[in-house]
């Protein structure tokens, strides 16, 4: 039997730990009392019984958001901005507690979790400022006595569906521009990490954001999750769905939204190519791979999935990378010094294992790792050890292009190295996928840098860096990685409509 963990004992402000949903300014369980267990992926210990809400409660949250919309959208942009700045301040003040909640429900090391809180808070700061600058236009008319004006207005109630890999930042990345634009929101929290979403609702309540403006519903995976998705997509009171998650769920939500023709923005899966040319600074490139591949134990949509290394530097690069990966300290994210945590669930572990076995069966060699395991810092032991979700950080070389890992997103700590010879060949291989979110390459050649960046079929390119996300720049993909951009000057437009006002008879 699994043991339980008292999360509130780890917090200086235990009130941030909530195991109820937040609808219309009230903390509520599921109407029928249904719950599901939430566990710590590092130990298998139960953290809480969470409300398993039925579809009717999602509709209730949408009604609350619709009722709150007129007053929230009627505030001045300055008033909304002030709320966001206060929220930003509270996040900074509570970074330790918010990071702890994130660490125990998601598994990422505490230092990394606190880094995510800072990143999540940056969306509030950026959008607090950006909301003040949602300018319209006046456009000269070809007709005498006519004036044209374009104004920006909030799109309305927004359904925000977020994933577990960034339990805080994926919420603020959507919520901050939505609130700044004058929209109200219903957040469907991921089943794996609802506590971070609910902690944000506590802070919204504390800064006085009115009831109904921010609502958080939660339920386990399966039927009620699908029902929540249906309600958000089919309810005519919802004007926009912003979703981050897998491509298959994105396709489903798009179909479901067709009956009400909602505005959509989707940030879906990736399969990032990470290219190391023969003139690259190898030390910097290895650090780039580490930052891109092993953050969040490889569970990021922009992480290096296919690492292409020029044949001239292949062996040298592989050895350098293996050396650094061997030095990782894997364990419970709450343990001092741990640099890589568990995967979020067993499904994630099984996928990494399948990718490793398949690549090895096609000739790949394991340089480091290659197996699931339970580190000593994961506080469970004996029969409970199997409930933890660790996989060793792994580097494999001589990977055959027919391996699953060449075409599927691994979403785990597996770095597969492929060999290439020419720029044309590697660009073609990098682009030979149905998705196009991010790509990275390392070179010192300025001409090549421009040529390759322009040729890669992705929404974002990192040149000589493995880190590309910031609140002030657009984030999003092409092809089946989705559409719409989060962050940057255009991010807030996703939550606005442009309204034309033409005035005649002047
Ligand atoms: P998922 O797409 O199933 O889940 C993402 C979010 O969508 C979660 O909140 C989930 O509850 C919700 N969801 C799932 N089905 C839904 C439905 N029918 N209606 C409404 N909401 C629904 O992704 P996952 O199972 O968490 O992970 C599976 C794979 O998805 C990963 O291995 C990875 O490839 C990809 N993924 C990508 C990202 C990203 O950042 N782009 C994030 C998480 C997962």
Tell me the domain boundaries of the chain. Answer: 24-29+49-268+483-500, 273-470
pLDDT score for 385: 43
How much distance in Å is there from the Cα of 249 to the middle of ligand 1? 6
Contact yes or no for 341/42 (Cβ under 8 A): yes
What whole-number distance in Å separates Cα of residue 103 and Cα of residue 245? 20
pLDDT score for 186: 99
pLDDT score for 374: 82
Q: What is the pLDDT along the chain (506 residues), one digit of tens a residue?
A: 569 999 999 999 999 999 999 999 999 999 999 999 999 999 999 999 999 999 999 999 999 999 999 999 999 999 999 999 999 999 999 999 999 999 999 999 999 999 999 999 999 999 999 999 999 999 999 999 999 999 999 999 999 999 999 999 999 999 999 999 999 999 999 999 999 999 999 999 999 999 999 999 999 999 999 999 999 999 999 999 999 999 999 999 999 999 999 999 999 999 999 999 999 999 999 999 999 999 999 999 999 999 999 999 999 999 999 999 999 999 999 999 999 999 999 999 999 999 999 999 999 999 999 999 887 766 544 444 446 799 999 999 999 999 999 999 999 999 999 999 999 999 999 999 999 999 999 999 999 999 999 999 999 999 999 999 999 999 999 999 999 999 998 999 999 999 999 999 99
Q: Which residue has the tokens 């690549």?
A: 359
How much distance in Å is there from the Cα of 269 to the middle of ligand 1? 9
Beta-sheet pairing, 238-244 with 482-483? unpaired
- Selected catalytic residue, list 267, 409, 486, 494: 267
pLDDT score for 384: 45
Measured CA distances, 23 to 73, 229, 449 (Å): 19, 17, 49
Answer whether 246 contacts ligand 1 (Cβ < 6 A): yes
Answer whether 165 contacts ligand 1 (Cβ < 6 A): yes
What whole-number distance in Å separates Cα of residue 73 and Cα of residue 67? 11
What whole-number distance in Å separates Cα of residue 146 and Cα of residue 91? 48
Answer whether 297 contacts ligand 1 (Cβ < 6 A): no
Q: What Rg, from alpha-carbon coordinates, does the chain have? A: 23
What whole-number distance in Å separates Cα of residue 247 and Cα of residue 250? 5
Answer whether 269 contacts ligand 1 (Cβ < 6 A): yes
Contact yes or no for 299/276 (Cβ under 8 A): no
What whole-number distance in Å separates Cα of residue 412 and Cα of residue 389? 11
Looking at domain 24-29+49-268+483-500, its CATH superfamily turns out to be Aldehyde Dehydrogenase; Chain A, domain 1 (3.40.605.10)
Query: Which ligand 1 atom is at minimum distance from the Cα of 348?
Result: 32
What whole-number distance in Å separates Cα of residue 104 and Cα of residue 46? 10
Contact yes or no for 58/30 (Cβ under 8 A): no
What whole-number distance in Å separates Cα of residue 274 and Cα of residue 291? 12
At 278 the three-state DSSP class reads coil
Architecture of domain 273-470: 3-Layer(aba) Sandwich (3.40)
How much distance in Å is there from the Cα of 188 to the middle of ligand 1? 11
Of 163, 253, 266, best ligand 1 pocket probe by most atoms within 8 Å of the beta carbon:
163
Ligand 1 atom 10: residue of nearest CA = 190
Instruction: Answer left, alpha or beta for residue 77, where phi above 0 means left and psi between -120 and 50 means alpha.
Output: alpha
Active site residue 384: no
ipTM of the complex: 0.95
Ligand 1 atom 26: residue of nearest CA = 163
What whole-number distance in Å separates Cα of residue 341 and Cα of residue 105? 11
What whole-number distance in Å separates Cα of residue 261 and Cα of residue 283? 49
pLDDT score for 2: 64
């Amino acid at each position: 039997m699994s043991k339980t963990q008292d999360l509130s004992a780890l917090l200086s402000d235990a009130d941030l730990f909530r195991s109820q949903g937040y609808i219309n300014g009230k903390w509520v369980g599921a109407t029928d009392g249904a719950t599901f267990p939430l566990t710590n992926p590092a130990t298998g210990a139960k953290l809480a019984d969470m409300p398993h809400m039925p579809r009717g409660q999602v509709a209730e949250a949408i009604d609350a958001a619709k009722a709150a919309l007129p007053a929230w959208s009627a505030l001045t942009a300055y008033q909304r901005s002030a709320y966001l700045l206060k929220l930003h301040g509270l996040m900074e003040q509570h970074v330790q507690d918010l990071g702890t909640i994130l660490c125990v429900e998601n598994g990422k090391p505490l230092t990394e979790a606190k880094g995510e809180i800072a990143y999540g808070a940056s969306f509030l700061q950026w959008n607090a400022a950006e909301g003040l600058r949602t300018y319209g236009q006046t456009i000269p008319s070809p007709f005498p006595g006519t004036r044209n004006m374009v104004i920006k207005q909030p799109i309305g109630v927004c359904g925000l569906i977020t994933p577990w890999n960034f339990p805080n930042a994926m919420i603020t990345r959507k919520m901050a521009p939505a609130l700044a634009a004058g929209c109200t929101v219903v957040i469907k929290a991921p089943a794996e990490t609802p506590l971070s979403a609910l902690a944000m609702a506590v802070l919204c309540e504390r800064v006085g954001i009115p009831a109904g403006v921010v609502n958080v519903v939660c339920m386990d995976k399966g039927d009620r999750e699908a029902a929540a998705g249906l309600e958000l997509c089919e309810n005519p009171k919802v004007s926009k769905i912003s979703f981050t998650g897998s491509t298959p769920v994105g396709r489903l939500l798009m179909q479901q939204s067709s009956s009400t023709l909602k505005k959509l923005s989707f940030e879906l899966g990736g399969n990032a190519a990470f290219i190391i040319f023969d003139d690259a600074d190898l030390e910097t490139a290895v650090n780039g791979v580490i930052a891109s591949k092993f953050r969040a134990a490889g569970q990021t949509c922009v992480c290096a999935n296919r690492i292409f290394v020029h044949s001239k530097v292949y062996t040298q690069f592989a050895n350098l990378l293996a050396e650094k990966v061997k030095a990782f300290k894997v364990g419970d994210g709450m343990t001092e010094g741990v640099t890589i945590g568990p995967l979020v669930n067993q499904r994630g572990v099984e996928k990494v294992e399948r990718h490793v076995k398949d690549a090895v069966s096609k000739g790949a060699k394991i340089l480091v790792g290659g197996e699931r395991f339970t580190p000593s810092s994961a506080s469970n032991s004996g029969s409970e050890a199997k409930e933890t979700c660790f996989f060793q950080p792994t580097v494999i070389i001589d990977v055959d292009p027919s391996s699953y890992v060449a075409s599927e997103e691994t979403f785990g700590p597996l770095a597969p190295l492929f060999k290439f010879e020419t720029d044309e060949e590697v660009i073609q291989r990098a682009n030979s996928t149905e998705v196009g979110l991010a790509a990275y390459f390392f070179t010192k050649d300025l001409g090549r840098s421009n040529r390759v960046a322009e040729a890669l079929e992705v929404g974002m390119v990192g040149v000589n860096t493995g880190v590309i996300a910031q609140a002030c720049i657009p984030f999003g993909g092409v092809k089946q990685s989705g559409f719409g951009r989060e962050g940057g000057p255009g991010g807030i437009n996703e939550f606005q409509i442009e309204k034309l006002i033409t005035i005649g008879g002047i």
